[in-house]
Amino acid sequence: AKLWTLQQHFEGLPKESNFELKQEELPDPKDGEVLLEAVFLSVDPYMRPYSRMHLKEGDTMMGAQVSRVVRSRNPSYLEGSHVIVHCGWRTHFLSDGSDLTPIPSNWPEELPLSLALGAIGMTGLAALYGLEEICEIKAEETLLVNAAAGAVGTMVGQIAKIKGCRAVGCAGSDDKVSYLKELGFDQAFNYKTISSLEDALREAAPQGYDCYFDNVGGDFTSTALAQMKPFGRIALSGSISTYNNTAPHRGPSIHSHMILKQLRMEGFLVERWKHKHHDSLQRLLAWVKEGRIKCREHITEGFENMPASFISMLSGGNVGKAVVKI
């Protein structure tokens, strides 16, 4: 079995030298245990800030994966079945079954299981909950989402369109912007090539935004707040523009816009609505099956490429959900 450890805490953008590839021997499963083998590993932005908060140097990198049950001494998990497990960057894992989530039993054969880490998994749920629970988005409203060509952003825009809203997205390359238009975004722009973010946001929605799904934070958010309509709602999903900061974060200059426009801004973590996950995943699955949501994945092959895939995702190298295939 192989695993990737955090050899040294990140300073700025992670480097290959921050990680170390190790080998381990796993014993045979005991009664009640299952031996899992990784099939797809999720590559997510939260691994950057969370590693600082939760890992010591030498610990295994954190993360979720789709794994196959290769040996089972637990009657609830048949050999050959697939589960989701948060066991970190490992090729193999021994579990007592308590920490496993089975893939939904009605998963269509034609859909890749990797989608259980993305569109029909954590990132799809983040999009759905941010829009419905925090933004309480309604038909005809105008929505802004940044990092729009990524795993969460592509879902946010498409769900907003299903709900009859106007979706404005921005991303870091012209190819990503073309992809957003293909997905049905009403307006999209490349935030790296515009001369003024303020002007670009205003041109894309001259009347302003009812809802803002924020994946980026930092200066982007300071600027976006000025373009909100009164009583606008803001779902704070993440602040990827600050994850690699080495200097202390200044934070958005929120006061004047938040108060004068009476905005509502709330952070959220997907786990808050755990009780709704089952039904929510079924709704996402139905939209994907009906072709109302298109899923693009950025798949890198090979466990040895976990660090490279992670670094590339943080640098904007992905379109759609970043996943590593074993």
Residues forming contacts to ligand NDP in the complex (CB under 6 A) are: 44-46, 122-123, 126, 147, 149-153, 171-173, 176, 215-216, 237-238, 240-241, 268-270, 313-314, 316, 318, 322
When the beta carbons of 45 and 88 are compared against ligand NDP, the nearer one is 45
User: At residue 290, what is the residue type?
Assistant: E
C-alpha distance from residue 189 to each of 51, 82, 151, 181, 204 (Å): 32, 39, 17, 10, 9
Rounded to a whole number of angstroms, the minimum distance from the CB of residue 255 to ligand NDP is 23
Using N-to-C axis directions, what is the helix angle for 151-162 and 277-289, rounded to 10°? 80
Number of H helices, E strands in the chain: 9, 15
Cα of first residue to Cα of last residue in the chain, in angstroms, is: 12
Strands (E), 25-151: 34-42, 65-72, 82-85, 92-95, 100-102, 142-145
Comparison of 88 and 124: residue with beta carbon closer to ligand NDP: 124
Helix axes 122-129, 277-289, angle to 10 degrees: 100
What is the smallest separation between the CB atom of 136 and ligand NDP, expressed in angstroms?
17
Instruction: Decide: 324 and 308 in contact? Cβ < 8 Å.
Output: no
Closest approach of Cβ 269 to ligand NDP, in Å? Answer: 4
Residue among 281 and 314 whose Cβ is closer to ligand NDP: 314
Q: Which is nearer to ligand NDP, 171 or 295 (CB)?
A: 171
What minimum distance in Å lies between the beta carbon of 213 and ligand NDP?
9
Contact 7, 19 (CB under 8 A): yes
Residue 320: closest CA among 93, 154, 102: 154
Give me the least distance between CB of 27 and ligand NDP, in Å please. 34
Nearer to ligand NDP, 81 or 244 (CB): 244
Minimum gap (Å) between residue 214 Cβ and ligand NDP: 8
CB of 200 to ligand NDP, least distance (A): 13
Closest CB to ligand NDP among 7 and 241?
Answer: 241
Is residue 177 within 8 A of residue 153, CB to CB? The reply is: no
Measured from the CB atom, the residue of 68 and 277 that comes closer to ligand NDP is 277
Name the residue nearer to ligand NDP (CB basis): 88 or 130: 130
- What secondary structure letter does DSSP report for 221? H
Measuring CA to CA, which residue among 74, 135, 65 is closest to residue 103? Answer: 65
Say how far apart CA 122 and CA 16 lie, in whole Å.
Answer: 26
User: How many residues in the chain?
Assistant: 326
Q: Note whether 65 and 2 are within 8 A (CB).
A: no
As measured in angstroms, the least distance from the Cβ of 219 to ligand NDP is 9
